[in-house]
Structure 1
Amino acid sequence: MKKIIRYTFASIIALSLSNCTSDFEDVNTNPNGLSQESLTQMNNHIGGSFTPMFLNVFNVTPAWNYQLQQGLMGDVFSGYMTPPTPFAGNVNNMTYSLVDGWNGFPWGDAYNSVMPYARDINNAVAETGDASGEKFVHLSNIIKVTAMHRVSDIYGPIRYTKYNDFATTGEYDSQKVAYEAFFSDLTASISGLKQFEGETQFAAFDMSNLNGDIALWRKFANSLRLRLALRVVNIDPALAKTQGELALKSDAGLLESSMIINTGFAHPITVISGSWGDIRMGAEMESILTGYNDDRIEKYFNPSADATLSGDYKGIRMGIEIDAKGQYLDHSSIGSVIDGETLTWMTAAEVHFLKAEAALRNWTGAGTTTQNYEAGVTASFTQHGIGNVAAYLADNTSTPADFVDALNATNNIAYPSDVKIKYNASGSNEEQLEQIITQKWIAMFPDGQEAWSEFRRTGYPRIFPVVVNNSAGKIDTDIQIRRINFVESEVNTNAANVTIAKGFLNGPDTGGTRLWWDTGSNF
């Protein structure tokens, strides 16, 4: 909480600087106060703008905002979690009747609390004319890309490259243009920050476990570049390979430990799962973790509170008939993985799995698939304090379990794959990719947004189709939900540009239209 007080103080200073009054000169010549020159030297005129950016890549508080930004979208569409609550009479996102009032929150959080502050940092640095301030622009751009690729992966086209110019701020980029800009911004930041390695000015504003270390921020940016390179591999293999190999050979290196944000607030899922009882284990998580006898289940979830389930871990299938919250309320809630006041932006395990897929695609510098795969699983076990990883990696028989609904056999479904744990380097490309992405999916929990994106890109792991589809034909039950339609606030206030943005899509502005990078094919 001390860090939050410090960040809040910096924000108050920044706010006071933007609200000058008639006694500005008197205030700033007060020998007992802070002069404008002193504030500038401490970079507080810049640093305060980082706080809202850090706290809105994932919105931290209030918990209901996180629930609408991520909890009732990526977290459920990924198979990670399912609400026991039949919101709006069970006609909601989980049954593909997309709720516009919910689905604008990822957009609102980005355009209220990320993009404007990145612009403010850019403008503040430009006004000072101090070349050393460029490091803050690079750092804010890294955070901006972290946030905005997630927004683009929800909606598709976004407002990005023309945002800072008032005359063009409402104009959209196609997702292709946005991704090219992400790569450009990351490349510039990775290169531009090199000269600032060893400087400590950012430490006062850094809410991450990187503690202002510029060299580590370069690693994070480079790891993010590798993530995004693989995101576009099916639509633009040449661009993906170029960017991926740049990341693999960069002198910045890649993350060796997880990127964690110290928010100063309880993880919002502790409220959503614990206090409200509005989220529980997803059916796919039950199938995969129990089928694999995976000990991470004890960290991710709590045993069912329903006495009839004998302490088993039980999930809920998304998109089923739920009459009342009490039906499935005592299924497995979210476990100790969400304890504390932190949020993870990228795990060390994910980086190893990115390298494993890069190796599968024969990218230079990636190493071998088997070594990277096993390193990813090992990193995840280490992250959660789980032992006996060697025995787990040697398991060549366990497969995901079929899902059995404890209350309604109509929802039972066989898991449609016998994907195993022990890596099979002689398997087909698809078989190897399924192993990599399935373990990556397990390791990234609880970041459902990234897991949903990877499912849409690769088709892995296998996510069960909904039983109840209330989309009126807009979303195919088997193809499943692919995106969220453009938000009402934009349609109502920026209609002309939204109309142009709709033309960038591969189909109608519905949840059934695939994004630019979502081709439905891997090789």
Structure 2
Amino acid sequence: MRKMKSTIKTKSIIASLLVSVLFLANSCEEYDFGDTNVNPGQTGTPLPNALLTSALWSVSGYETQTTPSLYVQYLSETQYPETSLYAVGPVSWGEYTGVLQNLNTIINYNTDADTKTKALDFGSNANQIAVARILKAHVFSKVTDKWGDVPYSEALNGNTFPSYDTQESIYKDILKELTEAENGFDAGAMPSGDIMLNGDKAKWKKLANSLRMIYSLRLSKRYPGANDYAATQFKAALNDADGYVASNADNILYAHLDNNNFANRWYSLFLTRADYTISDVMIDKLVAKNDPRLAVYANKNSNDVYVGLPYGYTRDQLITWTANNQYSLMGDAITGQTSDSYFITASYMDFTRAEAAQLGWTTEVAATLYAKGIEDSWRQRGVYDAAAFATYLADAQNAYVGNTAAKLGDQKWIAAFPDGFEMWSDWRRTGYPVLTPTPNNLNDNGNIPLRYGYPSNESDLNSEKYDAAVARLANGDTDNSPVWWDN
């Protein structure tokens, strides 16, 4: 198994930028989209390398957000269940505005005639802009996937009362941005401060094309046809000469350090307490399939067996259950301080391509890609054995026959663990894997949430634009209103 590891050069970059990044993180306030970046670059001389490092570190946390991981039942809450009971109200988007401001500053600093020459100390203007545009598109995809319509075209420019763009227009612009960014690299120096890909231009291009494919497929309910907008965008990225993440050697990941400031986010989450652990839904699925990834995803309990913590229990139920049972913790390979966390993997892209083939968007063979997705996941996790793999694929539970859409959804869900955010989006769009809401739900509708509620202050601070956005939601500003691409 080949994995991209951080080099000595990358570690030196991180060490040299650590103080700057920590300063940026500690001095960052939570802003509304209309307040951020009023006049970027004018409050001092930006350090694009530190801004990029800070942005990449922020983005690394999106793959370890616990709320969507609870929604897709990867995890259970161990002590104080709220999110797994869907007791989630309005949610601030402050965690995104700072990173978007940093990326916007990089773009503006490399574009403005008065500063672009100074910016060359940190890489070519074109390459800094391309990297920042890719990341900015990705971050905005997270924002719109959570809330739906959000400020976009009028965000980050000093407009106090920005309009909420429709999710359709946002996604189309995101795809445009990724396409232009992928084509915007030049032969100059790559940006310094790149703690993720260490300035590997080829990998940045593959990342952009992979995101184009993922986001195009996300629009499949709105544009299902093989000649529709989404399929056309998907095929353009699939056939791009610069490629996409196609093998484990291409995996986009974060290689963490034995330094608490840049440690694996799962390690940091469990460093002082364990409020979450792997659910019975995930463990029971892996046990039923005799899936070797179980030993990677979970540790055995004190009785030397794998037991998932029941999903969706109330606190009283948890107290009773844990008094008589021992549950498994998430696996050391997932939660280790220096364990890699994955942004995009070959297996995820295999399943993405397989679904596109199922939809008739491409001439690729879905069954072949389905098998490759499982194999790439096994190899990624270091559990591949040829004989065991053949037996696994021959099992009726896993063979590519019958309800192949459901089987593909199940396997994609297993392979993506513990990245709940992407799987929450996939589940909303496809309905797979089939998940049963907790009967102990605390929301009004009893369903697994479909979106986040807008920040609580939006109805006061930007009421006219907020009201217009809410009017476009089927069930108002609630977690039971599907976002546009989920309709």
TM-score (norm 1): 0.78
Call closer, same or farther: CA 1:145–1:169 in 2, change over 3 Å. farther
In structure 1, the residue corresponding to 2:234 is in which secondary structure? helix
Q: Deviations over 1:266-303 (max 9, x none)?
A: 22322434631211112220221111111101111111
- The partner residue of 2:175 within 183, 188, 210 is 183
1:5 is the counterpart of 2:12:
no
- The partner residue of 1:422 within 385, 399, 402 is 399
Q: Deviations over 1:98-128 (max 9, x none)?
A: 244xx32xx211012x211121112101223
Q: Deviations over 1:379-431 (max 9, x none)?
A: 111111102255335436757xxxxxxxxxxxxxxxxxxxx21222xx4xxx2
> Partners in 1 of 2:436 and 2:423 — Cα distance?
14
Instruction: Specify the alignment match of 1:277 in structure 2.
Output: 274
In structure 2, the residue corresponding to 1:201 is in which secondary structure? coil
Where does structure 2 lack aligned partners over 5 or more consecutive residues?
A: 1-10, 28-40
CA contact (8 A) 1:355 1:369 kept: yes
Give the Å deviation of 1:371. Answer: 1.5
RMSD: 2.6
The 5 A counterparts of 1:37-56 are 45-56=47-58
1:461 is the counterpart of 2:433:
yes
Q: More relative contact order in 1 or in 2 (CA 8 Å, sep 6+)?
A: 2
The 5 A counterparts of 1:94-105 are 94-100=84-90, 103-104=91-92
> Partners in 2 of 1:504 and 1:252 — Cα distance?
39
Where does structure 1 lack aligned partners over 5 or more consecutive residues?
A: 21-35, 37-43, 61-65, 400-419
1:312 is the counterpart of 2:308:
no
Instruction: Specify the alignment match of 2:233 in structure 1.
Output: 243
Q: Deviations over 1:478-514 (max 9, x none)?
A: xx22111111243343333222221232321101111
CA contact (8 A) 2:375 2:389 kept: no
In structure 2, the residue corresponding to 1:280 is in which secondary structure? strand
- The partner residue of 1:298 within 276, 295, 313 is 295
Instruction: Specify the alignment match of 1:109 in structure 2.
Output: 95
Corresponding letter in the other structure for 2:232: T
The 5 A counterparts of 1:361-376 are 361-364=359-362, 367-376=364-373
- The partner residue of 1:119 within 87, 95, 104 is 104
Q: Deviations over 1:8-50 (max 9, x none)?
A: 36659999x8655xxxxxxxxxxxxxxx9xxxxxxx7322211
1:481 is the counterpart of 2:449:
yes
Q: Deviations over 1:411-465 (max 9, x none)?
A: xxxxxxxxx21222xx4xxx21111121111111111111111111111111122
CA contact (8 A) 2:210 2:244 kept: yes
CA contact (8 A) 1:394 1:422 kept: no
> Partners in 2 of 1:94 and 1:164 — Cα distance?
33
Give the Å deviation of 1:325. Answer: 6.0
> Partners in 1 of 2:239 and 2:300 — Cα distance?
44
Q: Deviations over 1:218-257 (max 9, x none)?
A: 1111001101111110112222101111111111201132
Greater alpha carbon shift after TM alignment, 279-288 vs 336-345: 336-345
1:383 is the counterpart of 2:385:
no
TM-score (norm 2): 0.83
> Partners in 2 of 1:47 and 1:433 — Cα distance?
43
> Partners in 1 of 2:459 and 2:306 — Cα distance?
43
1:163 is the counterpart of 2:151:
no
> Partners in 1 of 2:209 and 2:467 — Cα distance?
35
Instruction: Specify the alignment match of 1:360 in structure 2.
Output: 358
In structure 1, the residue corresponding to 2:435 is in which secondary structure? coil
Corresponding letter in the other structure for 1:75: S
Corresponding letter in the other structure for 1:470: L
In structure 2, the residue corresponding to 1:315 is in which secondary structure? coil
The 5 A counterparts of 1:302-341 are 302-305=299-302, 310-323=303-316, 327-328=321-322, 330-335=326-331, 336-341=333-338
Instruction: Specify the alignment match of 1:395 in structure 2.
Output: 392
Higher-Rg structure is: 1
Call closer, same or farther: CA 1:360–1:96 in 2, change over 3 Å. same
> Partners in 1 of 2:383 and 2:404 — Cα distance?
24
For these two proteins, the number of residue pairs brought into alignment is 440
Sequence identity of aligned pairs in percent?
Answer: 26
